[in-house]
Structure 1
Amino acid sequence: MYSKLAFRNVLRSAKDYLVYMFTMAVVTALMYAFSSLFFDNELTGLFEIARMMQMMTGMATFLIVLIVAWLINYMVRFMLEKRSSEFGIYMLLGMKKKAIARLYMRENILLGVFAFLPGIAVGILLQQVLMAILKNMLHVEYRFHPTLNKYTFLITLLFYAGSYLLALFRCKRRFKKMNIHDLMNAKRQNEETKESHEGIKRVMFPISIAVIVAIWTIFPRLSSVGAVCTFLIALVLVIYLFYVGLSAWIMCYVREKKKGIYRGQNLFLLRQFSSKVRTMQFTMGTLTALFTIALMGSSVAMMFSDYENKILDTKWPFDVQIYSPNVEDEFQDDLEILIKNTEIKDSYIYRVYTNQTNQANVWMYTNLQAFGNMYREKDGRPNMKKIEKVLKTEGVYCTYDTYMGLSDYNYLRKMLGYKQITLTERQYAIQIKERLSAEVGEMPKGLKITDATGDKELICGDIYEEPFSQDGHNGGDYILIVPDKVIQTMKPYYSEMAVDLKGKTPAGLMKELDDLVPKEEQDFAGHADLPLDGNSCSGSDNIVNYSETNLVRDNAIPEVKYMLASLIVPAFYMGLVFLCAALTVLSVQQLSDSAKYKFRYDVLAKIGLERSEIYHLIARQLAAYYLCPALFAMLISGSIMVRVSKIFIIGTGVHTSVLQYFGISVLLFFGIYMIYFMETYVGFKRNIEIKK
């Protein structure tokens, strides 16, 4: 009998909790699709760093499980409060408390099963889409073959069932403590709106806004882990205090009988909204935090996706680029591997030189936006102690300035298909990364380069910004080009070999070249990392930095794309789940309260409001309730992400607006937002059934 009753109750309440079931199905599908990354042997076998994707996805999944557990617990408790009168009547009719608790648990398990099964079906298809995107990104052929992976299914079931059982266990404990009186009155507890010290509380509203505005100036100055943690704690407190102040401010506005309350149905809306915010202060704060994380996660994913699409394919123009600290190196072992595995179209061995000065390095440290005022004295002069220390330890630039002869430079330009340049005996040129070209117009004024005799000063002929492999190979960020007569007076600094290949590059070529280097000189990914011992460097890229001794373009690009995907995929995954969880709470709250609102809208209809006016009023009520946490989250996340976007653009050289990443995230956000809003609006109108 209880099973039939539970099934009937589920069908009866499915209308009110359809949004919740839809969200749980979406969460199940996402969880299944992304959990499959743990068990795809082909994907994890492509790179030494493949575990990074699993680690990042695992961290995201852990946070998502916490949010899903919170959502389920919230919904179970919420449904219990809404049906407390019904359960109180069951007890009056003689049903035991244990039987009622078992009935309620069966109902929730049925709701969970009805969401889980279609979620798995969608998840199998979504998993194929995810794998197709990832393997296309990595230039790996992929065939569509949807199958149910038993390990992915089990881990999804474990996370899903664990969240449900934990929530139901807590609910069962709550049932044991309740009596008939508690059950009959539980529904009314959240309807009570106690007003006390509203005049003092409303001060929190402008204070919280002022703190959010302060974020705009404070955030870029956070330079330590402790400062960031303090900032985040303060931000969370501000979010929750905002709703305390907002509710008090509205109540005081109504109490003081301001003119605005008498326009249209403003008084009705203000009373409704303030009472809802007052009873849901903690929930609204939590939803704002979830929306903030969702927007920030999406924006970060957009940043790295944009970098991947615009910069990565042009970052390393040579098919193969090999560094050696030995200035006499002829790269015989490397050439043997290349001849064995590839067909060489052209190869060129050359030296990078130095005049054992660091005037170019000093100029870069004291003038680039990336470094700000870190290496300047208060009066603007270079802080030579700091610069000399960082040149010896960090390896952003070599200890001394890097030079290249004109004939070597022109040969490399010919390999890349660039137009060759000419210099007179009195000229030099600067080859710079394209992302820094707008900042180095004044660089020649800070350099003093002399001719072969050392008597006459050279002048800068031009600055070139084509892609030129300047992440530690042809200099870090820059290299100075001088006539061959001048380069002969300088000291060889390190050796390089650039290679142009015919046809497709073998997948394991870079790893085979790295195996020539002793294991102790390799990094965590198994690559021969640049030693950074004075005559090697990495450049000032501080967002995505990839500097290796051996660079094989067609091997490095997929690997870096995989690294970026390790950030993009979990960020989207986490943001989407957080967004759906928050929207579910908003929707279910309004749809479940529609019975209470039905009486109020019936009264409005009886005193003369037309049906169209009432529907317009419903739309305004829902919009205020929906937009409040969303707009507040946009204010917080936008003030942070615009700053982060500026730093990202400076650090990577991506050409885009600082508003683009956050703007796209907002559009995506509101696209999903409108789906939930329209579903709630249609369901709300259906539930109140206004009749004239």
Structure 2
Amino acid sequence: MLNKLALRNARRSFREYFLYFFTMILITALMFSFHSMIYSKAILTLAADGGMFGVMIALASVFIVFIVLWLIHYMVNFMAKRRSREFALYMLLGFHKKQISRLFLKENMVLGALAFLAGLIPGIFLQQVLTAAVYGVLEASYKIRPEFNLKTLFLTAAVYGGAYVLALLRNNRRLKKRNIREILEQERENERQGAGNRTWPKWLFLAALGCLIFFSVQMYRGGIHYNTVLLWILGLIVSAYVLFFGLSAFLVSYIRKGPESLWRRGNLFVFRQLAGKIRTMGFTMSTLMILFTAALVGCCCAFMLSRFQETQGEEKWPFDVACYNPDPEYNFDRERERIKAEEIFEQELAYQIYENHTKSWSAYLDEHIAPDNYFAWDTYIRESDYNQLRSMLGYEPVSLGTGEYLVQIKARLKSVAELLGKKNLVIGNTEYTCKGIYTEAFEQSGHNGADFLLVIPDEAADFMKPYYSLYMAVTKHDLTQEEGEKLRTALLKINDVSTGEKMYDDWEAWEEKDSRGLGSDTMVVSNSFVFVKSIDTYEMRFMLSTFMFPLFYIGLVFLCVAMTVLGVQQLCDTEKYRRNFSILRKLGMRKEETDGLLLRQLVFYYLCPFGAALVFGGILSGYVSMNFSLYSGVTDPVWSYFGISLLLFLLVYGIYFAMTYLELKRSL
């Protein structure tokens, strides 16, 4: 009998909590598709460190477990409160508390199992979409071939089932301990603001806003240091919870004042409903706001990484092959011989970078941009070598007159060049004025200078000392992975340079000895002796993908969880809304007006946590984007990453909002 009752109740719960069921299906699909990346042969064969992708997915799953655990616990507890009278009736009919708790456990296990099985089907589809997306990012060809790995299934079942069982067992123990009176009182439990003085909650609201403004000012002024960042984050979280506690008091105060606008178009009804929801759901709304904020910032960071890998391959490695040697007299004859044997190279140049034992440019950048990341001396290049390099990259040549020099610098630092270019250079006994500033991609992360390179006439270089040697080459066509890896290995062996980690140890030792700088880039910094564009770009994209996709994963799950809680809270008040709207219609309000009232009520309700998250998330994302543009080399507008994230969120937000509104409208 209990099994039949459990199935009947499960069917009823499916209708009442469809949004919750839909979200658990979506979470299962996302879990399965991302977990498949851990064991996917297609991913593991992409790169030697393909296992890193799986490690990052596993770390993301840790966050997902906690948020799914919270969602299940919240929803199960919410359902138990709504059915408290039903459970009390079971006890009056002679059911033992153990039987009731077991019945409730079975109902939720049935719902969870159905959601899991239903989620596997879209999960297999999403697996292919995700794999194709990874291959697309790496510009590799991929043929659709569905994989169904039992390890993926078991891992997804373990993570999903573990979260479900933990949440249900906790609620099960709580249900067993309660008597009839406690169960009946459970329905009346609310997260309510205490009665009494209505003034101090409003002051708390103002205090929370003040803390947010102070935090923003300190953050943008650089007043937050790594040793105090945890305290600032804690204060921000506390402010978020206080914010909604005080917002309810402000709404109540506004309603009590009764301004003229309150009596128009059913505004009184909307604001009273909103104030009641915020008062009873203040803690929950604050939690949802934090989830929205975390998801927005996470997706914003993912879009930053995506944009970086789209643009910075050409920026960091515009030449197809680049070789470096600390010996300024090194001629690269062996490298040339090896490269010419490939018969795929179109142009090449071996040249020297010079220094004049001056460091006005390096010293300024070291002090104001990136300390300890520049050469000991300013770096110079001959005009003839510079023009030949520009020709190799398809740029227009430049010309210098007597007593003139040019600046080649990264685009984001052009303002620095304009400032420093006002001062003349003194080479030998001659002064040189700045003729112009060029910001094209020129491989300036420790190769053609660190962030900048000063272009001087050939005769001026005769007064200088060679600093180090470089060799650049461009190919007739893009190198394949096999060609690029083979060539890089051969070029490293020419100079007896170690491969793997030992290679980087050798290069770091040279940097320390010769005060070599890598510039202000921090996202991807490589100090290899040899660069092959196809290989280094591929490895950079794969590495960034291991962070980018998990961030999207976490953001989507956080968003869906938060939207589920918001929607279910509204759908479970259907009976109350039906009663309220029935009264409004009896008072003369038309159906079109009540539908509009319902829509406005939902809009304000959904905007409360999301609007606050836009403010919090916008401030944090703006700060992260600003620093990202400064240190990564990507010059897109700061707001663009947050704007794209917002569009994605509004799409998901709109789907959940439409589902909630249509279901409420149908029920009413």
Q: TM-score, normalised by structure 2?
A: 0.93
Give the 3-state SS of the residue equivalent to 1:74 in structure 2.
helix
Identity %: 38
* Contact 1:222–1:228 (8 Å) recurs in 2: no
Report the number of matched residues: 660
* Contact 1:430–1:480 (8 Å) recurs in 2: yes
Aligned to 2:124: 124
Aligned to 1:532: 511
Determine whether 1:457 maps to 2:431. yes
Determine whether 1:287 maps to 2:267. no
Determine whether 1:510 maps to 2:488. yes
Structure 1 Cα separation of the partners of residues 646 and 68 of structure 2: 23
Aligned to 1:229: 230
Give the 3-state SS of the residue equivalent to 2:346 in structure 1.
strand
Equivalent residue runs for 1:242-253 within 5 Å: 242-253=243-254
CA change 1:599–1:523 in 2 (3 A) is farther
* Contact 1:527–1:548 (8 Å) recurs in 2: no
Determine whether 1:650 maps to 2:627. no
Q: Residue 50 of structure 1: CA displacement?
A: 3.8
Structure 2 Cα separation of the partners of residues 650 and 188 of structure 1: 53
- Which one-letter code corresponds to 1:331 in the other structure? F
Q: Residue 151 of structure 1: CA displacement?
A: 1.2
Q: Residue 529 of structure 1: CA displacement?
A: 6.0
Task: Determine which of 592, 596, 610 is the counterpart of 2:590.
Answer: 610
* Contact 1:76–1:171 (8 Å) recurs in 2: yes
Give the 3-state SS of the residue equivalent to 1:14 in structure 2.
helix
Structure 2 Cα separation of the partners of residues 579 and 291 of structure 1: 6
- Mark the runs of 5 or more structure 2 residues left unpaired by the alignment: none
Q: Residue 339 of structure 1: CA displacement?
A: 5.3
Q: Residue 174 of structure 1: CA displacement?
A: 0.7
Structure 2 Cα separation of the partners of residues 427 and 77 of structure 1: 76
Structure 2 Cα separation of the partners of residues 283 and 469 of structure 1: 51
- Which one-letter code corresponds to 2:471 in the other structure? M
Task: Determine which of 378, 381, 387 is the counterpart of 1:410.
Answer: 387
Aligned to 2:219: 219
Structure 2 Cα separation of the partners of residues 197 and 182 of structure 1: 29
CA change 1:219–1:85 in 2 (3 A) is same
Alignment RMSD (CA, Å): 2.4
Determine whether 1:623 maps to 2:603. yes
- Mark the runs of 5 or more structure 1 residues left unpaired by the alignment: 372-389
Task: Determine which of 525, 541, 558 is the counterpart of 1:561.
Answer: 541
- Which one-letter code corresponds to 2:570 in the other structure? Q
Aligned to 1:382: none
Give the 3-state SS of the residue equivalent to 1:146 in structure 2.
coil
Aligned to 1:374: none
Give the 3-state SS of the residue equivalent to 1:189 in structure 2.
coil
Structure 2 Cα separation of the partners of residues 118 and 438 of structure 1: 56
Q: Residue 580 of structure 1: CA displacement?
A: 0.4
Give the 3-state SS of the residue equivalent to 1:466 in structure 2.
coil
- Which one-letter code corresponds to 2:581 in the other structure? Y
Structure 1 Cα separation of the partners of residues 146 and 186 of structure 2: 47
Q: Residue 604 of structure 1: CA displacement?
A: 2.1
Deviations 1:86-137 (A, max 9, x none): 1211121112221211111111111111211121111111111111111122
Equivalent residue runs for 1:120-519 within 5 Å: 120-190=120-190, 194-220=194-220, 221-331=222-332, 334-335=335-336, 338=339, 343-365=344-366, 370=369, 390=371, 394=372, 396-450=373-427, 454-505=428-479, 506-508=483-485, 509-511=487-489, 513-514=491-492, 516-518=496-498
- Which one-letter code corresponds to 1:143 in the other structure? K
CA change 1:118–1:313 in 2 (3 A) is farther
Structure 2 Cα separation of the partners of residues 239 and 623 of structure 1: 21
Deviations 1:446-473 (A, max 9, x none): 34222xxx22212333322222111111
* Contact 1:431–1:465 (8 Å) recurs in 2: yes
Q: Residue 548 of structure 1: CA displacement?
A: 3.0
Structure 1 Cα separation of the partners of residues 2 and 501 of structure 2: 68
Aligned to 1:380: none
Q: Residue 240 of structure 1: CA displacement?
A: 0.3
Give the 3-state SS of the residue equivalent to 2:446 in structure 1.
coil
Q: Residue 578 of structure 1: CA displacement?
A: 0.3
CA change 1:514–1:6 in 2 (3 A) is farther
Q: Residue 53 of structure 1: CA displacement?
A: 2.9
CA change 1:617–1:256 in 2 (3 A) is same
CA change 1:356–1:664 in 2 (3 A) is same
- Which one-letter code corresponds to 2:452 in the other structure? Y
Q: Residue 656 of structure 1: CA displacement?
A: 2.9
Q: Residue 480 of structure 1: CA displacement?
A: 1.5
* Contact 2:315–2:443 (8 Å) recurs in 1: no
Deviations 1:29-76 (A, max 9, x none): 111111222223443354455444333322222111110110011111
- Which one-letter code corresponds to 2:153 in the other structure? F
* Contact 2:507–2:527 (8 Å) recurs in 1: no
- Which one-letter code corresponds to 2:456 in the other structure? V
Deviations 1:638-676 (A, max 9, x none): 122223222222333434322221122222211111111
CA change 1:210–1:469 in 2 (3 A) is same
CA change 1:443–1:50 in 2 (3 A) is farther
Structure 2 Cα separation of the partners of residues 607 and 407 of structure 1: 88
* Contact 1:29–1:122 (8 Å) recurs in 2: yes
Determine whether 1:32 maps to 2:32. yes
Determine whether 1:680 maps to 2:660. yes
Give the 3-state SS of the residue equivalent to 1:356 in structure 2.
coil
* Contact 2:218–2:224 (8 Å) recurs in 1: no
Q: Residue 518 of structure 1: CA displacement?
A: 3.1
Give the 3-state SS of the residue equivalent to 2:143 in structure 1.
coil
CA change 1:279–1:242 in 2 (3 A) is same
Structure 2 Cα separation of the partners of residues 208 and 50 of structure 1: 45
* Contact 1:363–1:446 (8 Å) recurs in 2: no
Q: Which moved more, 1:232-241 or 1:441-450?
A: 441-450
Task: Determine which of 581, 598, 605 is the counterpart of 2:561.
Answer: 581
